[in-house]
Chain A
């Protein structure tokens, strides 16, 4: 059984036909070729697949594509404004908040969601707010610094 779905991804209307068991991340990666969203686990814990759907961060490996029919979805590919990085992306570059880059898309999307809902987070808010994202490379300290700077950038509308 295939079900037609349509949604808005990174501001563009898209549509496709999916089996009910198709995960949102599979739809993004395999049908839309948006491979920036990654899969790092099979128990919904690593957060490499985090995207923003209808205004909140979600694990795209733990949502069916059909559940997101009609949704507004933003992935890491949709964050920058042309050649200008989003303040959170810029802050990750400025503060060495990434190493291998694999967890980074999910980490950045979670950070954007965190700051959207708490514009001036403390270090503790940030550490708690990133509880759904695993990074094996950085030890998180620079991620925390980056999110703090990214929050500043988002508040002022500037790069980090």
Chain B
């Protein structure tokens, strides 16, 4: 690790005030950032530790949505009675991230801000139609992920919370990379008042909605309908663990299993 300075603000305003340049990085749970620093793949001048900002923590039900503070850990989401009652698929997703120790420190805000193409939460943001709250504005989930590790966030804009509308039914299915635990493909299928949503992570440069499958499921919310859609391999990720064609095939398979899990 290269040397850096360290700040530990206790309020959001204080944190934002410290984030004055692109070389000063926010530190959330650190489960991606610290390994990156250890590999000397990043050289920040300073880290601003968000871990002691109470305003970023907590899970609450607000109307028809579940609002999760950005500093909430994956383990807290997985174990939350509020989440398990309203969106069990989201609790299940959180419980499939990384391993128990990663879930004990990694946070939803950190994961979504980092936008790893193989992270799990992006499938939920897109698949459930979440809203990202930042220190300056709100961003619709559909507009948030833009490309590989690229989001709609401005430089040093901080996520404060994520709100997930409660669906009629939803399920998350994932094929995990056996080495890293990341999603080779993860699919969140949600039945909502506004229609069926299918959020996909791991398959492309960033999370996206599989609209062809959404259309098929709008006609017939059955596993067979999802499986019947042949997703194109063009633009899918390809690496030693999964070819583009394999990922494309998995999207339909996992979507069909998610539909089955929704009772479809």
B51: interface (CB < 8 Å): yes
Which one of B34-42, B132-140, B167-175 contacts A? B34-42
Measured between beta carbons, the chain A residues less than 8 angstroms from B37 are: 21
Measured between beta carbons, the chain A residues less than 8 angstroms from B4 are: 20-21
Docked-complex contact B3 and A19, CB < 8 angstroms: yes
Docked-complex contact B30 and A64, CB < 8 angstroms: yes
Q: Which of A21, A64, A69, A132 contacts B3 (CB 8 A)?
A: A21
Docked-complex contact B101 and A110, CB < 8 angstroms: yes
Docked-complex contact B35 and A132, CB < 8 angstroms: no
Q: Which of A50, A62, A69, A132 contacts B34 (CB 8 A)?
A: A62
Measured between beta carbons, the chain A residues less than 8 angstroms from B82 are: none
Which one of A29-37, A40-48, A85-93 contacts B? A40-48
* Interface size in chain B (residues, C-beta < 8 A): 28
A108: interface (CB < 8 Å): no
Docked-complex contact B6 and A20, CB < 8 angstroms: yes
Measured between beta carbons, the chain B residues less than 8 angstroms from A57 are: 100-101, 104
From B31, B37, B99, B180, name the one whose CB has the most chain A CB atoms within 10 angstroms: B99
Measured between beta carbons, the chain A residues less than 8 angstroms from B228 are: none
Question: Interface code A45-56, partner B: CB below 8 Å = 1, 0 otherwise?
Answer: 101001000001
Complex Cα distance, B46 from A19, in Å, reads 12
In the complex, which residue of chain A has the Cβ closest to the Cβ of B105? Answer: A58
Docked-complex contact A132 and B102, CB < 8 angstroms: yes
B244: interface (CB < 8 Å): no
Measured between beta carbons, the chain B residues less than 8 angstroms from A132 are: 98-102
B149: interface (CB < 8 Å): no
Shortest CB-to-CB span from A40 to chain B, Å, is 13
Given contacts A62-B34, A63-B30, A66-B49, contact A113 B6 (CB under 8 A): no
Complex Cα distance, B30 from A64, in Å, reads 9
Complex Cα distance, B49 from A43, in Å, reads 21
Docked-complex contact A21 and B99, CB < 8 angstroms: no
Shortest CB-to-CB span from A60 to chain B, Å, is 9
Complex Cα distance, B31 from A59, in Å, reads 9
In the complex, which residue of chain A has the Cβ closest to the Cβ of B104? Answer: A56
Measured between beta carbons, the chain B residues less than 8 angstroms from A21 are: 1-4, 37
B8: interface (CB < 8 Å): yes
Shortest CB-to-CB span from A48 to chain B, Å, is 11
A114: interface (CB < 8 Å): yes
From B5, B38, B104, name the one whose CB has the most chain A CB atoms within 10 angstroms: B104
B181: interface (CB < 8 Å): yes
Q: Which of A83-122 contact B (CB under 8 A)?
A: 110, 113-114
Q: Which of B40-68 contact A (CB under 8 A)?
A: 47, 49, 51
Docked-complex contact B5 and A58, CB < 8 angstroms: no
Complex Cα distance, B75 from A56, in Å, reads 10
In the complex, which residue of chain A has the Cβ closest to the Cβ of B51? Answer: A67
Docked-complex contact B30 and A67, CB < 8 angstroms: yes
Measured between beta carbons, the chain B residues less than 8 angstroms from A50 are: 101
Measured between beta carbons, the chain A residues less than 8 angstroms from B6 are: 1, 3, 20, 64, 66
**Could you pull out 15 A-B pairs where Cβ atoms are within 8 angstroms?**
A20-B3, A20-B47, A21-B1, A21-B4, A44-B31, A45-B180, A47-B99, A62-B30, A62-B31, A62-B35, A67-B49, A113-B100, A114-B100, A132-B98, A132-B99
> Which B residues are closer than 8 A to A by beta carbons?
1-6, 8, 27, 30-31, 34-35, 37-39, 47, 49, 51, 75, 98-102, 104-105, 180-181
Q: Which 7 A-B pairs have the closest CB atoms?
A: A132-B99, A20-B6, A131-B99, A56-B104, A21-B1, A132-B101, A59-B101
